[in-house]
């Protein structure tokens, strides 16, 4: 991921130093488990632990130089690690293992830890939505369907629904993390031909993973599940950001991004205050969906193993996790700082809509008073069209129908239409 969109805590998990350090820990744990079972001399396992090298930039460079000869990065890693360990016991490193035993198990550890960061960010975003939902539940605005005025809603309802979506993302991400938290230490083609299955159980328990039967590689459906969960989380962020963009339009003006002192919206037009963060988040969500598609393509591999998934995963996992973490954190900032222009929202709702948002209420009132539905529908439709043509409101023209005053009070009451808005807050059970 380019530095502009790369959170430090995410990128740290995907450095070569951290990857090789995790692989080395797997290797040493395997030797210790084998020593426990009597396959490897106990003094050899203790020696490997005591002499395990520190993985620094020089070590990583040495692996790269060795790989230029071996044309195999895991083999290069083992060669360099054995060299640094030294002595007769170094030969027990990687005993009975194949490359993907170490690579896939280490990747599971890294992805589990990375997904924990993403899950934390989903909770933070959910809670930010929740706080704004409670704060804005009584700020009414026009609901829109097909981009057209529909019926009244409130900003709090919008935020509550986004909070619920973020919580569903949390559930999906947790399920994906748990599905990925598996290890495989079963040797070539996965048949445990040269390694006791108990080694897999012991090492996985120490790493906080579940042992999982596999071929030579861990099945990639769980990896695809994780990338899809990430993409869906990005979709929730995009839905919020898109609404901010739509409500920020000059002709709507109900929301706007916070504009800091000294900020510029355009290099050419000084009046501009563009929703740049919302636009950025929408664009990034498209990238996440592309990574999810690649994850699905990685599921089908040849026979017991090929590595067509490997090159793609070296790109898509670090990038997808860094990107969604950046998005979630910026989205939470946006939720906390987005400006709601409630006066403009009420003007749009009551004046610019010409009262059309009450058309269903008037229709139902006429039906309940005994009017045939089709006639009532045409009556309200004609009044709504005339309100627009004459720059009046539906309520003003509805007085032609000579209904009881109490009926008008009920039909054109925002509080009646939104009497159940607290229902949305009650769904945010984590706040209670």
Q: For the chain, state the CA radius of gyration.
A: 30
Nearest-angstrom CA–CA distance, 29 and 48: 10
Q: Is 142 helix (H, G, I), strand (E, B) or coil?
A: strand
Nearest to 266 by CA among 278, 275, 274: 274
Give the residue carrying structure tokens 């993403």. Answer: 118
166-171-177 Cα angle (round to 5): 120
Q: Where are the beta strands (DSSP E) in 249-390?
A: 255-256, 339-340
The one catalytic residue in 42, 193, 266, 308 is: 266
What Å distances lie between residue 21 and 110, 133, 301, 325, CA to CA? 11, 44, 27, 23
What Å distances lie between residue 112 and 184, 198, 301, 364, CA to CA? 15, 23, 23, 54
In this structure, the dihedral spanned by the alpha carbons of residues 136, 137, 143 and 147, taken in order and rounded to 10 degrees, is: 40
Nearest-angstrom CA–CA distance, 113 and 268: 45
Nearest to 184 by CA among 168, 170, 199: 199
Residue 152 C-alpha from the chain's centroid: 30
Q: Which helix (H) or strand (E) holds 153?
A: strand 148-154
Round to the nearest angstrom and report the end-to-end CA distance of the chain. 38
- Residue 118 burial (CB < 10 Å; 0-12/13-18/19+)? buried
Nearest-angstrom CA–CA distance, 24 and 188: 19
Nearest to 333 by CA among 173, 129, 162: 129
The pair of structure tokens assigned to 45 is 């396992």
Per DSSP, what are the bridge partners of residue 144?
149
146 counts as catalytic: yes
What Å distances lie between residue 174 and 130, 177, 242, 404, CA to CA? 20, 5, 26, 56
Indicate the pairing of strand 210-211 with strand 182-183: parallel
Furthest-apart CA atoms within the chain: distance in Å: 102
Catalytic (active-site) positions: 146, 266
């Amino acid at each position: 991921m380019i530095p502009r969109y790369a959170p430090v805590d995410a990128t740290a998990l995907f450095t070569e130093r951290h990857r090789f350090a995790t692989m080395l820990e797997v290797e040493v744990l395997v030797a210790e488990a084998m020593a426990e079972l009597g396959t490897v001399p106990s003094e050899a396992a203790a020696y490997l632990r005591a002499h395990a090298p520190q993985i620094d930039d020089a070590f990583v460079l040495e692996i790269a130089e060795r790989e230029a000869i071996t044309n195999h990065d895991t083999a290069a890693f083992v060669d360099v690690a054995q060299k640094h360990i030294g002595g007769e016991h170094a030969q027990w490193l990687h005993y009975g293992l194949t490359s993907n035993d170490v690579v896939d198990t280490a990747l599971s550890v890294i992805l589990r830890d990375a997904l924990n960061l993403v899950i934390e960010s989903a909770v933070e975003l959910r809670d930010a939505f929740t706080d704004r939902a409670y704060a804005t539940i009584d700020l009414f605005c026009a609901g829109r369907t097909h981009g057209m005025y529909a019926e009244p809603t409130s900003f709090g309802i919008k935020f509550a629904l986004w909070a619920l979506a973020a919580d569903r993302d949390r559930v999906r991400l947790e399920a994906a993390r748990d599905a990925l938290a598996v290890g495989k230490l079963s040797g070539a083609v996965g048949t445990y031909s040269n390694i006791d299955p108990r080694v897999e159980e012991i090492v996985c328990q120490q790493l906080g993973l579940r042992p999982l039967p596999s071929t030579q590689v861990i099945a990639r459906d769980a990896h695809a599940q994780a990338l899809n969960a990430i993409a869906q989380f990005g979709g929730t962020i995009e839905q919020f950001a898109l609404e901010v963009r739509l409500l920020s339009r000059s002709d709507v003006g109900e929301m706007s991004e916070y504009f800091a002192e000294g900020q510029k919206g355009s290099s050419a037009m000084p009046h501009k205050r563009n929703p740049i963060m919302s636009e950025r988040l929408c664009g990034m969500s498209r990238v996440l969906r592309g990574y999810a598609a690649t994850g699905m393509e990685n599921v089908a591999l040849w026979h017991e193993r090929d590595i067509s998934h490997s090159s793609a995963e070296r790109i898509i996992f670090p990038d997808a996790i860094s990107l969604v973490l950046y998005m979630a954190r910026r989205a939470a900032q946006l939720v906390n700082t987005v400006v709601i222009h409630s006066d403009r929202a009420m003007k749009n709702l009551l004046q610019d809509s010409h009262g059309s948002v009450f058309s269903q209420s008037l229709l139902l009132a006429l039906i309940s008073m005994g009017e045939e539905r089709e006639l009532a529908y045409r009556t309200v439709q004609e009044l709504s069209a005339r309100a627009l043509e004459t720059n009046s409101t539906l309520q003003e023209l509805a007085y032609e129908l000579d209904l009881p005053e109490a009926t008008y009070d009920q039909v054109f009451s925002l509080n009646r239409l939104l009497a159940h808005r607290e229902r949305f807050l009650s769904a945010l059970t984590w706040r209670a």
